[in-house]
Amino acid sequence: MFYMFNVGTQITVRDVDSDAFKEFKAEAIKRGLTLGAALTIAIEKFNSEKKPKLKFSDWKATSWGKGTEHLSEEVDEILYGGK
Amino acid sequence: MIFIDASVFLAKDNLSDVHHQKALAILEDVEKDKYGSALTSDYIFNEVVGVTCRKKSKEKAIELGRKILHSTSLLNINDHLLEKSWNLFIESGFNFSLVDCTIIIVNEILKIEFLATFDKEFKKIKEIQVVD
Q: Please, what is the average pLDDT of chain B? A: 94
Full-model pTM: 0.83
**Strand pairing class (B129-131; B73-75):** unpaired
Chain B positions in Cβ-Cβ contact with residue A55 (cut-off 8 Å) = 31, 71
Average pLDDT over residues A40-53: 76
- Is a pLDDT exceeding 60 seen at residue A6? no
Long-range contacts of range B88-95, CB-CB < 8 Å, 24 or more positions apart?
A: B94/B121, B94/B124, B94/B125, B95/A83, B95/B121
| Per-residue confidence (pLDDT) for residue A32, from 0 to 100 | 87
Question: Would you list the DSSP string of A9-27?
Answer: ------S--HHHHHHHHHH
Buried b (16+ CB within 10 A) or exposed e, A21-40: eeebeeebeeeeeeeeebbe
Which residue would you say has higher pLDDT here, B120 or A6?
B120
Residues 6+ apart with CB under 8 A from B19: A72, A73, B7, B8, B11, B118, B132
| Per-residue confidence (pLDDT) for residue A82, from 0 to 100 | 64
* Cross-chain Cβ contact B11/A72 below 8 Å: yes
Interface confidence (ipTM) of the complex: 0.88
Question: Residue B130: phi, psi to the nearest 5?
Answer: -80, 130
Convert the pLDDT of each residue in B65-122 to its tens digit: 999 999 999 998 988 899 999 999 999 888 899 999 999 999 998 889 999 999 999 9
Which residue would you say has higher pLDDT here, A31 or B19?
B19
- Is a pLDDT exceeding 70 seen at residue A2? no
Query: With contact defined as beta carbons under 8 Å apart, do B65 and B49 qualify?
Result: yes
For chain A, say whether B22 makes contact (Cβ under 8 Å).
no
| Per-residue confidence (pLDDT) for residue A44, from 0 to 100 | 79
The rounded distance, in Å, linking the Cα atoms of B96 and A65 is: 29
Percent of chain B with pLDDT over 90: 85
Distance of residue B128 Cα from the nearest chain A Cα, in angstroms: 18
Closest-approach residue (CA) in chain A for B72 = A52
Which residue would you say has higher pLDDT here, B18 or B126?
B18
The H-assigned helical ranges of chain B are 6-13, 20-31, 42-55, 58-71, 79-91, 98-109
